[in-house]
Structure 1
Amino acid sequence: MAETIDLKFVTRMKRLLSRAGSAEKLARLTGLSASIIGRYAEGKADPARKRLIAIAEASGSTVEWLATGNVLDGKAKTALKDVVIAVDKICQNENIVLDPSKKADLIIFIFEEMVEDLKTIEDLESKIVQLASFGR
């Protein structure tokens, strides 16, 4: 049975080629040949895992996005939503007002703590209060 072309992957590859300027430029950044980059962008070949990683790293994208088109998986989206809600709730309860940039930094920091250290919002509530208070 013939493989079907993943047109969405092809579209993502073409977007990366456009950003890079050419297949040759993306090839230099990845260490792959321009012809194989072109084959991926035409849907004539699918990259193996190591090549997918090289393309993602060289282009500043993620393997997740390149392979699936998802910026965040479902669990990460839920975790990010939980962090935003928790930070808002804690700031409101503690009468803490943060400028948008500091609030974004706090959300990113707490989200990374959750994802990297497998912690829950409950585990991080005191840290949110401490960091939010510091960032006023």
Structure 2
Amino acid sequence: MHIHIDDLSDASIHALLSEHLDNMYALSPPESVHALDLNQLRQTDITFWSAWDGETLLGCGALKEITSQHAEVKSMRTPNKLRRRGAGRAILAHMIEVAKSRGYQRLSLETGTDEAFKAAHKLYESVGFQYCGPFGAYAEDPHSIFMTLAL
């Protein structure tokens, strides 16, 4: 598996992000969907990574800088047909190491409450994320769970 910073130009990335957005809107009301589209992921405060096995896209993830000491995990996704192969865990571990090297003291994230998000909750819990309240511009939402990790 090779993880690298991605410029969001590959059609495979477009398809995976489209799958991600479609799935988020299917699971949560529109006002509770905080997934980013391609243009939002191209902002200068966001670094986007993709994981590949040869020509096969295994997943993606991004870090959005909130402050010089706090970043948010965004766009964690593995293709539906390629789940349970460790790509999500590898991307998350990579992003945690990058966050530490950048001097962030905290990583936070928002995810959904639907049963379909339970595997993600377990992944985040397994690396030390703890449940918390809203951070940044987020507000309390019955469709959102917030988690944070002190680095």
Quickly name the TM-score band, shorter chain normalised.
under 0.3
Flag the structure with larger Rg. 1
With a CA cutoff of 8 Å and minimum separation of 6, indicate the structure with the bigger relative contact order. 2
Q: What's the TM-score once normalised by structure 2's chain length?
A: 0.23
Which structure has the highest helix share of the two?
Answer: 1
Q: What's the TM-score once normalised by structure 1's chain length?
A: 0.25
